[in-house]
Amino acid sequence: MAFSVGEDLFSVLTITGIVIIFVVVLCHSYHVYMERRNAYQDFNLALDIAERLVNQVLAADGGQPGVIKPSSDRLENYSKILALHGTNLRVEIRSFSGELLFAHGIKPDLFKEYFSPPVSVSLPVALFWDQSSALPCELSVQVWRG
């Protein structure tokens, strides 16, 4: 291939520049795609954990489905199992007015780089109050790896 120093070299440089820009855009798109896919997977993991907490770990003994009774001991045991798989857990139960009624686990450090950023899932639940009543509140589960 013979280049003439002038038009051809200029064209090659221009096109090479354009290709580099496109490759950078492609890399960025791939990064965004992977980030979103991981966020989706982490969200599904957090949802699995939230459902397990409501249906098994915190389910009130002999109670109706959807009624929970907070227990630090049960949560501690469950957190240990998750920690073995490298997953950290924080559970909060808040009233609908935003008042914190129960919390378990350390808060994730927002400025720390984790293997995966914290993802949270909230589900409405009935908190066991006494034999005849349940308090409506929101169970918030935060999950992160690293």
Partner 1 sequence: MGEQGFGYITDMLVFSVLISTAALMLTGMAPVDPRVDSARYASSFAHSVLYLLQNTSAEQFGGFEYKLDTEFEPDLPVVGDSAKRELRYKTITQLLAEDALLNLHVDIKGAEFQVRRPNERMDEKLRIFLKSTLDRIIGGRFGYRLRARTEVADLGSARVHFESEVADLTRARTQLCTETLMLSLPVSREELAWHIEELTGIDPNEAGFEIDPILEVTLELWSR
Binding site residues, partner 1, CB under 8 A: 1-4, 7-8, 11-12, 15-16, 18-19, 22-23, 25-26, 28-30, 32-33, 36-37, 39-40, 43-44, 47, 50-51, 54, 64-67, 96, 121, 123-126, 133-136
Of 23 and 83, the one with the shorter C-beta distance to partner 1 is 23
Nearest to residue 126, comparing CAs of 138, 116, 118? Answer: 138
- DSSP strand pairing (100-104 vs 87-95): antiparallel
CB of residue 115 vs partner 1: minimum separation in angstroms? 19
Of 11 and 77, the one with the shorter C-beta distance to partner 1 is 11
Nearest to residue 142, comparing CAs of 43, 28, 60, 66? Answer: 43
CB of residue 44 vs partner 1: minimum separation in angstroms? 7
Of 5 and 84, the one with the shorter C-beta distance to partner 1 is 5
Of 66 and 117, the one with the shorter C-beta distance to partner 1 is 66
Please report how many Cα atoms fall inside a 13 Å half-sphere around the Cα of residue 31, on the Cβ side. Answer: 6
Task: Report the amino acid identity of residue 139.
Answer: L
How far is Cα 65 from Cα 56, in angstroms, rounded to an integer?
10
CB of residue 32 vs partner 1: minimum separation in angstroms? 6
CB of residue 9 vs partner 1: minimum separation in angstroms? 9
Cα torsion 36, 81, 59, 139: sign: negative
